[in-house]
Structure 1
Amino acid sequence: MAKICAPGKPRILCLHGFRTSAAILETQIRKWPESILEKLDLVFLDARYPSAGKSSVEGIFDPPYYEWFQFQVHQDHTEYQNYEECIAYIEDFMVQNGPFDGLLGFSQGASLCATLPGMQEEVRHISTFP
């Protein structure tokens, strides 16, 4: 976990993309204008699972690489593994390190950012949003 800004600003939990890392997302976001970064408290979290395959950023960014959950695409459906464990991992982090004012995600992390607020009513612990 890494932070860019000082406390007292909107706290945003940042979730990286598939087979990348918190450090990679932080490097990418540091390219944003300082006028934006100085207004936010960004918290970066690595996914629970080490990459189970080749990362598309090998040779661009150094390892280690992580993935939030795994999936297999079949002809008529997609099968997901460790999705519930992934949600529980993020939920636990939010409870222990929150509250957070929002979420920011890239790729696989963005899909989780879209899922988590919708689960607030269903999952009793995801209550760290205002």
Structure 2
Amino acid sequence: MKLRLLCLHSFRLSGDSLRKQMAVFSNFASSIDDICELHYMDGSLRCDAEAEGKLPPMLKKAFGPPYYEWWNARQHHDSDALVYDGMQATLDKVAAHVAAEGPFDGVLGFSQGGSLAHLLCVLAQRGAISMPPSLFCVVISGRASRHHEHLELMEAARKAPLKLPLCVIYGGKDTEVPPQETRALMETIDEASLCTIFLPEGGHRVPNLNEAQAQAVRAFLEARRDQMESANLEMCMGGPGGPT
């Protein structure tokens, strides 16, 4: 049995861009493709010409249009918090996509997609979104949501960390999402549920995994698959008491 994994791309790229980052420019996908079926989707907001013009030329050369984002952050008018324009459209689109294309066993995200993946899991566990909770989450170079409507939610999760299996991969030289921000995300998850892979020289990208790192990711995913298979077997046998 393969795990079905919903994959969420970074800011102003696309599902196809993430597929290339995972499978062409990195060995990440090939390290897990016998365990996971990777399913990519595009963000809810398509970038206009002005937004496309702000993309670095090398990024546009590597990844062609169209480009999407999950939200666009701006300063809240009366506080130090941020407003994520497009947030509700994104939550609605993901919920509709999961209803139409799911179920998915877990969710993976890179950068802004990693922040969204984590947010979806927190919201679903709190019953605050109309989609079933993911069984696990993989975050690559992500931070916790800084949207003003989510600050209390994240603070509550830090005070009572969630028992959600979470694999976090992040780099020590990431200047887009500094490592301390990813560590702050990790504070929302119970320590026993965490698998962390820290790349001291890693930047802001889907990394190439060495043998030990790939084995750590695989072990995390294999444990999730084993849990699912055990749960399915238990259901077939009529619950913990055996056949009924």
Query: TM-score scaled by structure 1?
Result: 0.83
2:62 to 54, 60, 63: 60
- The aligned residue for residue 40 of structure 2 is 44
**SS in structure 2 at match of 1:125:** coil
Q: Does 1:129 align with 2:154?
A: no
- Which one-letter code corresponds to 1:69 in the other structure? W
> Which whole-Å CA distance do the structure 2 matches of 1:79 and 1:35 have between them?
37
> Which whole-Å CA distance do the structure 2 matches of 1:46 and 1:116 have between them?
16
Q: Does 1:26 align with 2:19?
A: yes
Could you give the per-residue CA deviations for residues 75-127 of structure 1, whole angstroms, max 9, x where no partner exists? Answer: 83322211012111101111111111111101111001001111113235211
> Which whole-Å CA distance do the structure 2 matches of 1:109 and 1:124 have between them?
17
User: Share of identical aligned residues, percent?
Assistant: 33
- The aligned residue for residue 13 of structure 1 is 6
Q: Does 1:119 align with 2:112?
A: no
- Which one-letter code corresponds to 1:9 in the other structure? K
Which protein, 1 or 2, shows the higher relative CO under an 8 Å CA cutoff with sep ≥ 6? Answer: 1
Compute the displacement of 1:60 (Å): 2.5
Q: Which protein has the larger Cα radius of gyration, Structure 1 or Structure 2?
A: 2
Q: Is the 8 A contact 1:91 1:126 kept in 2?
A: yes
Q: Is the 8 A contact 1:99 1:129 kept in 2?
A: no
Compute the displacement of 1:35 (Å): 4.4
- The aligned residue for residue 3 of structure 1 is none
Structure 1: gaps spanning 5 or more residues: 1-7
Q: Is the 8 A contact 2:9 2:42 kept in 1?
A: yes
Q: Is the 8 A contact 2:45 2:86 kept in 1?
A: no
Structure 2: gaps spanning 5 or more residues: 136-244
Task: Pick the structure with more helix per residue.
Answer: 2
- Which one-letter code corresponds to 2:73 in the other structure? F
Compute the displacement of 1:55 (Å): 2.4
**SS in structure 1 at match of 2:66:** coil
Compute the displacement of 1:49 (Å): 1.0
Could you give the per-residue CA deviations for residues 46-85 of structure 1, whole angstroms, max 9, x where no partner exists? Answer: 0121124122422222111100111114683322211012
Q: Which moved more, 1:45-54 or 1:115-124?
A: 115-124
Compute the displacement of 1:129 (Å): 3.2
Q: Does 1:104 align with 2:108?
A: yes
> Which whole-Å CA distance do the structure 2 matches of 1:24 and 1:124 have between them?
27
Mapping of residues 69-88 of structure 1, within 5 Å: 69-73=71-75, 76-88=80-92
Give the number of aligned pairs: 123
